[in-house]
Amino acid sequence: VNNLHLLHPDQIELAKMLVDLGQSHLFQHWPEPGVEDEQKKAFFAQVAKLNSNYPGGLASYVKNARELLADSKEGKNPYDGFTPSVPTGEVLSFGDNNFIKFEEAGVKESQNAAFVLVAGGLGERLGYNGIKVALPAETTTGTCFLQLYIESILALQGASSRLSHATSPKVIPFVIMTSDDTHARTLDLLESNSYFGMKPTQVHLLKQEKVACLEDNDARLALDPHDKYKIQTKPHGHGDVHSLLYSSGLLNVCYHYVISLWHGNSIFDDVCVCSCPCLSLQIHLRDAGLRWVLFFQDTNGLLFKAIPASLGVSALKHYHVNSLAVQRKAKEAIGGITRLTHSDGRSMVINVEYNQLDPLLRATGHPDGDANCETGYSPFPGNINQLILELGPYIEELTKTGGAIKEFVNPKYKDASKTSFKSSTRLECMMQDYPKTLPPSARVGFTVIDTWLAYAPVKNNPEDAAKVPKGNPYHSATSGEMAIYRANSRILQKAGVQVEDPVKQVFNGQEVEVWPRITWKPRWGLTFAEIKSKVSGNCSISQRSTLGLKGRSILLQNLSLDGALIINTVDGAKVKVGGSIQNKGWMVESIDYKDTSIPEELRTRGFRMKKVEGLEETYNQPGEFSLKPC
Ligand code: UGB
């Protein structure tokens, strides 16, 4: 009370609110006025920020926390009353007619899409010190994840405009959610690489804020152990992306942005340009043609191989929500897509997180819990956290909820009495829980894609990856890179190229298949039909080969490759590559991950490319060319 005169009127309101919320311990220890006054003001600046960053403010946060902590203490299961069963969804098989049909529809639709990358996580499990999107997806070309994503979006943009013969191509907005841990470094990566070819205005960064920590079951906010004028904070989870998109008004910006890039648009002259994401905006967005928002995670180098077909599924099946899934090994650290049916008749298809699936199954008559079935996989498809939402229903829902997502709390208790915590906790939320608040009429579906084509995240450090049970995926930098070569090899095989079988090798204690190191720029081939159209005759590639296709119009015709071949072209240069190309090639050389003289991004994978001999050709003028050494 003595210190109140130091505060602005709105800060006094915040102080009163904290007292009403039972949080007076936060300033009980404060000395008399005149001592550390600046720190006191800074404290309220932080409170104001925490208050405005949470839907409903700190009052809602504390209320939600008390309820969730009480449920947790009682051992209440959020899935009480629900029976899990295996849902049905669209199961795709790479390269068949159905797949090709969906891919074509997806490419057409992609000009109506916006992409949202959640990249606020630090990747503690990976043990990498930089931001994860700066890691090379593969080391043959050294392309980092962010570059790969941007080039994939640009390739989709180009393919989509070509398909619709658009005179003025639409620009696909790209949103990146960052956090204090990743924001500056993400911006720096973009700026120092000229946004990897994207227009800076096409990229929107949204920074998520952390939430207040809780020190006990009464949801008393925790002070930072190193600063008594600061509330301790921790990340709230990727679920923040929905409230951030809502509160930023960015969907609105995207709308204006999209139409501003369109041709003179007189039909938009008389529409409301209110800056709040109101319901009328939904109509405008639809009119403007933006129809889909695609959410994706930071380190999956295969993802965009699955995007066209899955977006096609959303469009042709009219899904409001479409989750991408793959076959899942029991106990694999990815959620399971599950149908949950409540005894009161409610039913929904939702991700059940990996740590909850096993207890839920055991509690509902499956004594083996999360176990593989006769196929060798869990019957529940694995959620890869790639969500495709139809924009209209999404905005409608955000307008109702403010983007708030069902939260959970995971306190680590000191003992069985569950009265105190080992360390402070906080509420968390996940972006895939978005459908939990949707009405039963919502069209929620999922699409299962071949794992080898769609999913190879880089999440685990070498030690943890080496301990993964045999047969389960490592999800490491080693397996993530090798998966890219395997996917590209298998795609070319399907397109008619004879690609030699892989050999098995161990790197960082992980046995992986080493296929030829085949890479291409997304603009070389985004869909199976496009790739197939660029391969003809009898082509073959030996296991020890490296192939890098860095250009749009490179045609492989009767090529026999046994060595390394890299081709760079500008748009407008059409190059036919054929004949026999043989050289000593590039070798995959084992390295010791403990050798700190080697850069961390190489050590985490346990190998590097030794460029012994290769053929590299660059075509930087438009025209028709042929490369046929012998
Ligand atoms: N992320 C943020 O942007 N902000 C945050 O506060 C936290 C994370 P993890 P997780 O497909 O592989 C998810 O840590 O949460 C970003 C699904 O929940 O890599 O353990 C972060 O930068 C799970 O169901 O994953 O597990 C990253 O891009 C399963 O699908 C993303 O969120 C699994 O991913 C995911 O964060 C998977």
SS3 content of the chain, % helix, strand, coil (to 5): 35, 30, 35
545 token code pair: 């080969």
Check residue 469 and report its DSSP letter.
P
Q: Relative to the CA of 299, which ligand 1 atom is closest?
A: 28
The CA 599 to ligand 1 mean position distance, Å, reads 25
Residue-wise burial string across 583-605, b where 16 or more C-beta atoms lie within 10 A, e elsewhere: bebbebeebebeeeeeeebbbbb
Q: How far is the CA of 120 from the centre of ligand 1 (A)?
A: 9
Ligand 1 nearest-atom number relative to CA 178: 3
Q: Whose CA is nearest to atom 8 of ligand 1?
A: 121
pLDDT of residue 9: 83
Burial (Cβ within 10 Å: 0-12, 13-18, ≥19) of residue 54: buried
Does the CB atom of residue 462 touch ligand 1 within 6 A? no
Gap between the Cα atoms of 383 and 457, Å rounded: 12
Q: What is the pLDDT of residue 1?
A: 64
3-state secondary structure of 541: strand
Rounded Cα–Cα distance for residues 306 and 526 (Å): 9
Are 225 and 253 contacting, i.e. CB atoms less than 8 angstroms apart? no
Testing ligand 1's pocket by substitution, the residue of 53, 117, 118, 124 carrying the most ligand atoms inside 8 A of its CB is 118
Q: How far apart are CA 205 and CA 174, in angstroms?
A: 9
Distance of CA 190 to the CA centre of its chain: 17
* ipTM score of complex: 0.97
H or E, element range at 590: strand 585-590
Paired residues of 198 in beta bridges: none
CB-CB neighbours of 359 under 10 Å = 14
Contact 310, 317 (CB under 8 A): no
Please provide the DSSP assignment of 246-286 as one string. Answer: HHHTHHHHHHHHHHHTSS--GGGTTS---SS--HHHHHHHH
Q: Which long-range contacts (CB under 8 A, 24 or more apart) does 550-558 make?
A: 550/141, 550/520, 550/521, 550/524, 551/521, 551/523, 551/524, 551/575, 551/619, 552/521, 552/523, 552/524, 554/524, 556/497
User: Is residue 298 within 6 Å of ligand 1 at its C-beta?
Assistant: yes
Mutate to test the pocket of ligand 1, among 145, 182, 238, 324 (most ligand atoms within 8 A of CB): 238
| CA–CA distance, 570 with 620 (Å, rounded to integer) | 5
Q: Are the CB atoms for 294 and 386 separated by under 8 Å?
A: yes
Between 279-288 and 391-401, two packed helices, what is the crossing angle to 10 degrees?
160
- The tens digit of pLDDT for each residue in 197-210 reads 999 988 999 999 99
Instruction: Indicate if ligand 1 lies below 6 Å from the C-beta of 84.
Output: no
CA–CA distances in Å: residue 490 to residues 269, 487, 502:
50, 5, 11
- Nearest Cα to Cα of residue 151 among 476, 478, 519, 458: 519
Residue 256's φ and ψ, nearest 5 degrees, are -65, -40
Output the pLDDT for position 627: 92
3-state secondary structure of 129: coil
Q: Render 470-525 in DSSP notation, one character per residue.
A: TTS---BHHHHHHHHHHHHHHHHHHTT-EEPPPEEEEETTEEEEE--EEEE-TTT-
Q: Is the CB of 302 under 6 A from ligand 1?
A: no
Are 364 and 376 within 8 A, CB to CB? no
Nearest-Å Rg of the Cα atoms of the chain is 26
CB 384 near ligand 1, within 6 Å: yes
Q: What is the pLDDT of residue 422?
A: 94
E strand or H helix that includes residue 105: helix 97-109
**Protein residue with least CA distance to atom 32, ligand 1:** 238
Contact, 604 vs 553, CB < 8 A?
Answer: no
CA of 257 to the centre of ligand 1 (A): 29
Ligand 1 and 239: CB distance under 6 A: no
Q: Residue 564 forms beta bridges with which residues? A: 546
3-state secondary structure 36-70: CHHHHHHHHHHHHHHHHCCCCHHHHHHHHHHHHHH
Check residue 559 and give its pLDDT: 97
Pocket lining: 147 vs ligand 1, CB cutoff 6 Å: no
**Other C-beta atoms within 10 Å of 253: how many?**
15
Q: For each successive 10 residues of the chain (630 residues), what is the average pLDDT? A: 76 92 92 88 94 92 97 88 91 97 96 95 84 97 98 96 78 93 96 96 93 97 95 95 86 51 38 39 52 96 98 96 94 91 90 90 92 92 96 87 91 94 96 91 93 96 93 94 98 98 97 98 97 98 98 97 98 96 98 92 95 97 89
Dig out the tokens for 559 from the structure. Answer: 């090529």
Bridge partner list, 338: 350
| E strands in 304-459 | 321-328, 336-342, 347-352, 378-390, 407-409, 420-425, 427-429, 444-448
Across 481-513, b (16+ Cβ under 10 Å) vs e yields bbbbbbbbbbbbbebebebbebeebebbbbebe
Ligand 1 mean position, distance from CA 475 (Å): 13
Q: Please tell me the pTM assigned to this model.
A: 0.92
Tokens of 235: 């990340």
Quick one: pLDDT at residue 385?
Answer: 95
Distance CA 515, CA 189 (A): 30
